[in-house]
Amino acid sequence: MALLTLGLSHHTAPVATRERLAFTDAEIPDALLRLRALPGIDEAAILSTCNRTEIFAVAAPEDEARLLDWWLRERQAPQGSLESHTYILRDRNSVLHSLRVASGLDSMVLGEPQILGQMKNAFAQAQGVRSLGPVLYRLFQHAFQVAKLVRSETEIGAHPVSVAYSAVQMAQHIFSDLNSQTALLIGAGETIQLLARHLKTQGVGRIVVANRSLERAQTLATALQGYAIGLDDISAHLPEADLVISSTAARGFILGKETVARALARRRRKPMLMIDLAIPRDLDPAIGQLEDVYLYTLDDLRAVVSENMKVRENAAKQAEVLVEDQARDFEKWLESRDAGVTIRRLRERARLSRDEVLAKAMRKLASGEAPEQVMAFVADTLTNKLLHAPSKALRNADAVEQALLLDATLKLFDLPEDEA
């Protein structure tokens, strides 16, 4: 049996293909049951995210085509729609790939931590329907441990590489405790939504959402347990804001220098962080001339992201070495497990031969044969039975195979090499 990974990702398939062939969380448990019911599939798990779908299986190598056909049927995809976008990895390559994925080394954003949570979810789903066996169970556990090791031993996740998260980290740097701060978010698009989630996760005290459409502002604010206002109400709420982040599609400045100056006067020189993520800009650059204002633009944050990405790339080189070493450790376990299976089969064969010979010996004793003769019968018959298969294999092997088998025989039976 082989450890197989059949998959596609942002490296190999466009978004439309990834969407077509992905599984939702709700679909995966039943899909795993159907997959596990296929002949030859001993273990199975499915990881499916917006950037990758991967099917893990313990199966015979000849079952690769069966896995691919099953995936096509499950997604009702036409023949030929998968082959050019998928990869199939076996044994060592499958192990190495799994460890790299868990560690964020194969992600669209290098070192991002979300994939580890997604892998843990895939593990839990497979465990829930009992589609895991000893190999995949250990592989996932090993991957989780390696991901933790990579994050503790390298700086791959230490520096933010998204503009949204960099903005939040900047706020944390200026305001050591976000719990007592109020954030005013101007806009309700994707960037602001992402920022809002980050701020909420970091425990910001209060969120006010301002948008041209009050309805959209209310939708976002409700999800955040925040407060919604229209753009016309910004000046009235600005003095409350410790952190102002703006990202709209407006033409012209949303906030000017005089409006901010009046808000600062009411704040009694309490500092304010303002981050403008809009193109064209929402905040008048002249605001930066005011005391007690820290004004940053999208270009400032991009410079931070670029520098942080260099740090992550260097950390990734260290992480790759760690992952390679850990993949070798797992390979050794796989190899020892294969040896264990073979040893158990060998012992079972010997036990059956012993029982068969003993049964014949007991009949001989019962019929009155001399014990000495029966003992000789047991010794000779059992010796012949145990040595028949290896002797036959040695005699019938071709020259190359025979040389390999002879070396193995010397080791297995601890025979001295200098004897004929």
Cα separation of 85 and 83, whole Å? Answer: 5
Q: Using alpha carbons only, what angle is made at residue 113 by residues 112 and 119, rounded to the nearest 5 degrees?
A: 120
Count of other CB atoms within 10 angstroms of residue 14: 11
Report which residue type is found at 329.
D
Q: CA neighbours within 13 Å on the CB side: how many for 323?
A: 27
C-alpha pair distances (Å), 351 with each of 91, 346, 364, 381, 386: 32, 9, 20, 14, 10
Report the largest interatomic distance among the alpha carbons of the chain, rounded to a whole angstrom.
118
For 30, residues 6+ apart whose C-beta sits below 8 A from its C-beta are none
| Contact indicator for 228, 209 with CB cutoff of 8 Å | yes
The C-alpha atoms of residue 190 and residue 198 are separated, in whole angstroms, by 12
Q: Exposed/middle/buried for 239, CB within 10 Å: 0-12, 13-18, 19+?
A: middle
In 3-state terms, the chain is what percent helix, strand and coil (to 5)? 60, 15, 25
Do residues 167 and 277 touch, judged by C-beta distance below 8 A? Answer: yes
Select which of 15, 37, 50, 352 is catalytic. 50
Taking each helix axis from N to C end, the angle separating 371-396 and 399-412, rounded to the nearest 10 degrees, works out to 140
The tokens of 285 are what?
Answer: 């650059």
Residue in the block written with tokens 């018959």: 381
Is 250 assigned a catalytic role? no
Q: Using an 8 Å Cβ cutoff, are 376 and 340 in contact?
A: no
208 Cβ contact list (under 8 Å, min separation 6): 182, 183, 184, 185, 221, 226, 227, 228, 229, 237, 240, 241
Name every residue whose Cβ is closer than 8 Å to that of residue 393 and which is 6 or more positions away in sequence: 405
What pairs with residue 207 in β-bridges? 183
**b/e for 130-150, b at 16 or more Cβ within 10 A?**
ebbeebbeebbebbbebbebb
**Which residues are marked as active site?**
50
